[in-house]
Amino acid sequence: SLYFVEKGNKKSLLLHVLKDTNISSVLVFTRTKHGADKVVKDLMRAGIKAEAIHGNKSQNARQRALSNFKNRETRVLVATDIAARGIDVDDMSHVINYELPDVPETYVHRIGRTGRAGASGIAFSFVSEEEKEELRDIYKLLGRPIPANEDHPFHVSFELTGKSKAAPAPVKTAALMHASLRIAALSVSWRIVAIKHSYTLSP
């Protein structure tokens, strides 16, 4: 589901969402390495155990962070898209898109990280007005809107009218068809059946 929020309130919204103890194991996506580190610092200051995984981390540091996440020693793993390709966790309960990706297909891969091995998973996306174009591109790729959750203290409203900055033709890939099915299910129960991805970790 979508959470419409001002860019400056994303940190507060994340802390608000994580008050829910049912969110036991969550992968948070940011666009940049610096952004990932900043989110980790914000969470740690709030007493939430978090670690970052991105290309500036050594291989040992990435493996240690991933091991801590799998063993539930770390509740929140914050990752960039490239580093997240090496994450293979079967029972991860939630994915949070702290920032929408520039490439709409990346959204499909992100939400596919939840609910592996036949389990259920939930994906949240924090969307600021500055990300309207990215959201429109995701809508175009999926062929449908994504349900929004307005029941939070930082909700804002803004128009999504206008042209997309990119206009990709519909591509009926397996990943896209799976994503469309997941979004349809999401409108009823916010539950997503995830797809499996190959592991390719770039430096």
Give the other-Cβ count within 10 Å of 160's Cβ.
13
Q: How confident is the model at residue 168 (pLDDT cuts 50, 70, 90)?
A: very low
Q: How confident is the model at residue 120 (pLDDT cuts 50, 70, 90)?
A: low
At 28, is the secondary structure helix, strand, or coil? strand
pLDDT over 80 (residue 62): yes
In a domain, 54, yes or no: yes
In a domain, 201, yes or no: no
Distance separating alpha carbons of residues 144 and 183, to the nearest angstrom:
8
Distance separating alpha carbons of residues 28 and 113, to the nearest angstrom:
11
In a domain, 199, yes or no: no
* Helix, strand, coil distribution of the chain in percent, nearest 5: 40, 15, 45
Distance separating alpha carbons of residues 154 and 129, to the nearest angstrom:
13
Structure tokens at 65: 């962070």
- The pLDDT tens digits for 69-110 are 999 999 999 999 887 776 777 678 899 999 999 999 999 888
In a domain, 194, yes or no: no
Q: How many CA atoms lie within 13 A of 2 on its CB side?
A: 23
In a domain, 53, yes or no: yes
User: What sign results for the dihedral spanned by CA atoms 178, 198, 40, 105?
Assistant: negative
- Domain of residue 8, residue span: 2-189
Place of tokens 């309130």: 9
In a domain, 69, yes or no: yes
How many domains would you assign to the chain? 1
Q: How confident is the model at residue 201 (pLDDT cuts 50, 70, 90)?
A: very low
- Higher pLDDT pick, 184 / 71: 71
Q: What is the pTM of this model?
A: 0.77
- Residue 117 sits in a domain whose CATH number is 3.40.50.300
pLDDT over 70 (residue 138): yes
Q: How confident is the model at residue 167 (pLDDT cuts 50, 70, 90)?
A: very low
- The pLDDT tens digits for 36-48 are 999 999 999 999 9
In a domain, 200, yes or no: no
In a domain, 175, yes or no: yes
Can you spell out the DSSP letters for 66-130?
HHHHHTTS-SEEEE-HHHHTT---TT--EEEESS--SSHHHHHHHHTTSS-TT--BEEEEEE-GG
